[in-house]
Structure 1
Amino acid sequence: MGNFRLTFILPVLLVLPGILTAQATADSDAAAIAIENPTENAADPAPGAMPTMAEIERAYQRGDFVFVRKGLQQLAEETGTALAQYRYGRVLLEGKGGPRDMKAARDWLEKAVEQNHAEAATLLGRIYVSGQDGDPLYNPERAVDLFANAAARGQTEAQYYLARLYLSGLGTPADPVQAFNWFLAAAEGGNVSAQYEVSKAYSRGRGTKLNTEEAVRWLRRAAEEGHTEAQFFVSLAMDTGNGMEQNKHAAVDWLRRSAEGGMILAQRVLGMKYIAGETVEPNAEEALRWLTLAAKRGDTQAAYELGTAYLAGKTLSADPGRAWAWFQRASDDDFGPATTALARMADEGIGDVPDLEKAVGLYRKALAQGDSSVALRLGHLAGAGRLDGLTPPHYAVPWAIVAAQDGDMAALDWVKTQAGQGLRPARTALAKWYLETDENLLQAADLFETAGRAGDVEAQYQLGMMLTKGQGVDQDYVQAHKWLNIAAASGNGEAAKMRGVISDLMTTEQIAEAQRLARTYFEEIRNLPAGEVQK
C-alpha cells in the first residue's frame, strides 16, 4: 500500500479559512492512490486498450501523469467503480497530467460518494470548506454531512475535520463537546493532528474537564509521531519545567526535531539559542543557518534577531552593513523595534556618519509602527532643541512630556516655551502636567481655558472636570456643564457622561444658562480666523 501515493498538494486546501490546515495523516495516506501487490514486470496496455489500475500506478511511479490522467478517466467513465472515480477526482484536483479542474473533480468525487466511498467523502468535504461565500464550491453545510458520513465509518481524517467544524461553528452550530469527542476518536485511531488537538482541549478544559496529565500524555504522543507544534511545546515544557520535568538538554533535542520538521518558530528559537549559548555552545554557523532559514520563510523577528546579532558582534562577527540589511527587511514588514534599531544606527553613526534627519524620520516611523519606546529619545532631542526644523513642534509636544516624566527638565522647559508662544497642544499638555503634579492648578485652569477656547477638546473636558470638582478653582456647575457640553459636542464620550451626572445636581435654570453659554461659545468660534482655531 505504501509503495505508491498520489501526493495531494492543493494550495486552496492548504489555506483554509482558519480551520482545516492540518498535517498529513495516516488516513490521508491511505486515501491516496496506492499499489496493491503490483506486478513489477507487467507490460503497459496496447494502444486503445483499457488500462488496469496496476498499470496506471506504475505510470505514476515513473512520472507519466498524462497516462495516469487518461487512464483514470477511461476507468472512471467505462467501469464506474468508486475507486476509479475517486482517484480521477484527485488527479483533476491536483492538476497532474493536465489543467486543474475543480468543478470536474467535485463532480467525480460526488459520484464516488454516491457509492459510499469514505475517502472521496472526506476529500470532497475539504473542497467544500476551502472557498469563500459566493463560491459555487463553498458549501460548509454539505461538508459537515460528508465528514459525518465518513467519520461514522471510522475514517479518522474525516473525524478530525468534523471536529474542526464543530469547534469553529462552520457549517454547524459550535459544539466544543462534540468537537472533543470527534478529536478523541480520531486521536485514538492514530490521527496525529487530532492527538495534538486533544492535548490542547485537556490543557484548556475545552469540551472536556481540565486534565493536565492527559494533556501532557497526548502532547508527547503527538510529538513522538512527528507533529512539529507538539514537539515545540514539549521542548518549551521541558525547558521551563512547566508541566514536565525540567530537562534543558532534552528540550533542545525536541526543539531541533521541530525545527528540522519545518516549524518556523522552532527554527528561530533554536537559532537564538546558538546566538546566546543557551544550553548549547555558541555557534555562529548554526545560528546563521536557523535564523536565516526562518527569516527567509517570512519570520520577521528572525530577521530582527539577525540584525541584532550582527550589531552586537559577539557570536556573529560585527557587521553593521548586514545588521542594517536585516533590520531593514524586518522594518519593511512593519516591525517597529527593527525600525527603532535603524534609527539608533543613524542617530549614533553606526556603520556610517551620524544622520539626525534620517534618524528622526525612522524614529517617527517606528512610533507609527507601535514602538512607543522611541518617544523618550525624541523628547530628549526636542528638549535639546535638536528637532527644530526637522519636525513640526506640535508633533514633538507629547514626546517632550514623556522625557519630562523621565526627569528631563529641559524638555519641560521646551513645552513651556511652546505654550508661551501660543501652541495649543503645548498649553494643554503643560496644563495636564500641572494637574497631574498638583502644582500651579490655577495656571492649569487658565491654560485649559485658553486652549479650550481655541477648540482643544481635551482641554475643554479637563476644564469641565476641574470646575465640577472645584480643583484649583471655585466649583461652578454652570461653567462645568458648559465646557463638558462643548467637549461632548465634539465626540468626547466621558464629557457626555459627566455632563449627565452634574445635570442631576443642577436646577432647570442653571442648565438653561449653561446651554446658552455653550451656544455663545460656538457662535464665537465660528467667527474666529481658521488659524486661531487650529493653532
Structure 2
Amino acid sequence: MSFSNASLSALALCIALGLSGAASAQESADPKLSMQEVEAAWAQQDFVKVRGGLKVLAEEGMPFAMYRYGRVLLQGLGGPKDQEGAEFWLEKAIEANQPNASVLLARLLLTKTEDGTARDPERAAQLLKAAAPLGNHEAQYYLARLYQKGEGVAKSGADAFNWMRASAIGGYVDAQFSLSRHYSRAKDSEQTLYWLNEAAGQGHREAQYFLGYALDQGQGAKQNRELGFEWLLRSAESGFIPAQVAVGRKYLSGDGVPTNGAEAQRWLKIAAQSGSSEAMTSLAKGHLAGDVVELNEPLALNLLQKAVQRGSPKAMVALAGMLEQAQGGAERDLEEAVKLYRTALDLGFDEASLELGRLASSGALAEMLAPHRMVPWVMSSIENGDEAALDWLRDQAAQGLRPAQTALGIWAGRTEGAPDDAAALLTNAAAAGDARAQYELGLLYITGQGVELDYVQAHKWVNIAAARGVEAAAEKRDVLVDLMTPEQIAEAQTAAREFFDQASAPTEVKP
C-alpha cells in the first residue's frame, strides 16, 4: 500500500502538530505559578493546577513548595498517590530546614505497616526533636506522644508533659485536649476545665462533649445545664457519635431540655446508622414506651436485635424482656431470654442479675437450672428490696442448700438485729464444707458478732477457708497470728486438722 503526496503531507502536518501539542500540554501541565497563585488554586480546589505549580516551584528549590508538593503527592491530590516521590521531596525540604516537612515525614514514619509494626520510630523521633524546639507545635505534640509511649525515645512522663504543655500553650488543639485528659486523671478540675474550654473553643468535638457533660452535671465546674447542652449539641453536629446519642437521649427523656420526639428520633437515628448500639437500644426503648416517639414494638425488636449483634449487654437485657413478654411479634422464648440475661451479666451488666433473680424467685427457672446457680442472682434481687427473692432464699436454706445458707447468713449479718441468725446459718454451712461460710464464720468470731469473741475458733475457720482457696482468708489468718499466743495458734491448728480428718468429701451438685 502506498500513500499519496496529499496523505504524506497530512501525516507530516499531524506529526508536527502532535509534537507541538505535546510540548504545549507539558507546559500547561506544569505552569510557572507564584505561591500566591498556587494558594488561590488550592482555595478553589483546583488540585491539578496546584500539583503542577508546586512541582515547578519545588524543582526551583523553594523549601516550602517542596514540603507542599510532598504533601500533595502523599495525599494523591491532582493525580495519583506517590509515596516514594512524597518522601523524596519531604527529605529535600528537611535538608532546606523546613520544619513542617519534618513533622509530616515523622508521622509517615510512624504509620503502622501491615504487620502492625512502626516503620521507623527512631528516625521519626529525631525529626520531631529537631522541629519541636523551633516552636512547631504539631511537632511538640507528636514528640510528647512518643515520650508517653516510649516509642523511638526513652519513656519519660516529665518530657511528655512538658512538650504537651508547650504545644497546648501554642494553641495546638489536640494537645489542649490531651492536657485536659491529663489533668482529669490528676483530679485537677480547674486545669481540666480550662483546657477543655480551650480545645472546645477551637472546635475539638470530643472536648466539646466532655465540656458539655462537665457543665451539665456540675462535675469540676459550676453546673450550667443550658450551656452544657449547647456544647453537647455542637459536638453532635460535628459528627461525634457519643454526643449524638447523648443529645437524642436528652430529647427522649426530657433531661435538661423539653422532650422532643422528632429531635430524639433524628439524633438517635443518625447515631444508630453510624453503628452505635447505644443509640439503637435507646431508640428501641423509646418505641417500646411510645410516649415521646411512636409506639412501634416490631421496630424496637429489630433495633435491639441489631444492637445485640454488636455485643451490647444493655440491648441483651431489653431484648430478653421482649422475648419474655412475646412483644414485637416475637414468640415467647424464656430459654433464649435467660441466655441473653446471663451473657449480659458475664459482660458486667449488673441489671441482668436483678432480672435473673426475679425469674429465679418466681420459680420460672426451676426446670432449667440447679438452685445453687441462682443464689447470687437472688441475692441481687434481695438487695434491691425483692421480698419474694428473700422468701425463696429462706426456703432453699431451710432445705439445706449450702450456698443459700451462706448467702442468707451473710445477709442476716448485715441486717440489724439478726446476728444470731447469721451465726447459726454460717455454722451449718461451714460445717458442711462451704468455704465462703467458713471464712465469714471466722470473721464473726473475730468481732464477736452473734458468737463469743474467740480467736482460736476464728483462726480455725479462716485457716480452713484459706486451705480451700479463699485468698482473703489467708490474709486475715496472718493478721490473727499477731494477736494470738503460741498456745492458741497450736490449738487452732489442731482444730483445723481435726476438721479435715473428719470431713467427708462434699457432694458435687450437678447443674
* TM-score (ref. length: structure 2): 0.74
Residues 216 and 228, structure 2, Cα contact 8 Å, conserved in 1:
yes
Tell me which of 109, 117, 132 is aligned to 2:98.
117
Q: How does 1:57-456 map to 2 (within 5 A)?
A: 82=63, 86-87=67-68, 89-90=70-71, 93-94=74-75, 101=83, 106=87, 109-131=90-112, 135=117, 137-139=119-121, 141-165=122-146, 171=153, 172-175=155-158, 178-179=162-163, 181-187=165-171, 191-194=172-175, 196=177, 222-232=199-209, 235=212, 243=221, 246=224, 248=226, 254-276=231-253, 282-352=259-329, 354-406=332-384, 408-436=386-414, 437-441=418-422, 443-452=424-433, 456=434
Deviation at residue 320 of structure 1 after TM alignment: 0.8
Instruction: Name the aligned partner's letter for residue 458 of structure 1.
Output: R
Shift of 1:282: 4.7
For the 8 Å contact 1:183–1:198, the answer to whether it is kept is no
Q: Helix, strand or coil: the match of 2:303?
A: helix
Task: Kindly indicate whether the alpha-carbon contact (under 8 Å) linking 1:157 and 1:186 is maintained by their aligned counterparts in 2.
Answer: no
- Consecutive unaligned residues of structure 2, counting only runs of 5 or more, are 1-20
For residues 406 and 209 of structure 2, what CA distance do their matches in structure 1 show?
51
Question: What's the CA shift for 1:137?
Answer: 1.1
- Evaluate the alpha carbon distance shift between residue 451 and residue 432 of structure 1 in structure 2; reply closer, same or farther with a 3 A threshold: farther
Output the CA distance in 2 between the equivalents of 1:446 and 1:280: 56
Deviations 1:198-226 (A, max 9, x none): 7777x76989x9866x955x755654543
Tell me the percent identity: 40
In structure 1, C-alpha distance between the alignment counterparts of 2:197 and 2:129, rounded to whole Å: 28
Root-mean-square deviation (CA, aligned residues, Å) is 4.5
Secondary structure of the corresponding residue to residue 501 of structure 1: helix
Q: Residue 315 of structure 1: SS of its match in structure 2?
A: coil
CA contact (8 A) 1:445 1:472 kept: no
Amino acid at match of 1:383: S
Deviation, 1:128, is: 3.8
Change in CA separation of 1:450 and 1:93 when aligned onto 2, cut-off 3 Å = farther
Distance 1:427 1:417 in 2: 10
- Give the whole-Å Cα distance in 1 for the aligned partners of 2:336 and 2:265: 29
Residues 50/521 of structure 1: CA separation in 2 closer, same or farther (3 Å cut):
farther
Show structure 1 runs of 5+ residues with no match: 1-42
Pick the structure with more helix per residue.
2
Displacement after TM superposition at 1:388 (Å): 0.8
1:373-417: per-residue Cα shift (whole Å, max 9, x none)? 343343333233221112221111122233344555543343344
Measure how far apart 1:523 and its partner are.
5.8
1:49-88: CA deviations, max 9, x gaps?
A: 89647589789966769x969x96x998x77775575456
**Offset at residue 286 of structure 1 (A):** 3.1
TM superposition score normalised by structure 1: 0.72
Q: Structure 1 residue 262: deviation in Å?
A: 1.6
Deviates more, 1:47-56 or 1:295-304: 47-56
Distance 1:285 1:49, change over 3 A: same
- Code of the aligned partner of 1:135: T
Q: What is the count of residue pairs matched by the alignment?
A: 475
Distance change (3 Å), C-alpha of 1:85 and 1:324 = same
How many Å separate the matches in 2 of 1:354 and 1:121?
Answer: 64
Q: Distance between the aligned counterparts of 2:499 and 2:31, measured in 1? A: 88
Distance 1:304 1:501 in 2: 49
Distance 1:178 1:469, change over 3 A: closer
Q: Secondary structure at the match of 1:491?
A: coil
Amino acid at match of 1:464: G
Taking the aligned partners of 2:146 and 2:437, their CA distance within structure 1 comes to 52
Contact 1:93 1:105 in 2 (8 A): yes
- What's the CA shift for 1:260? 2.2
Q: Which residue of 1 aligns with 2:8?
A: none
Identify the structure with bigger relative contact order (alpha carbons < 8 Å, sequence gap 6+).
1
How far did 1:124 drift? 1.8
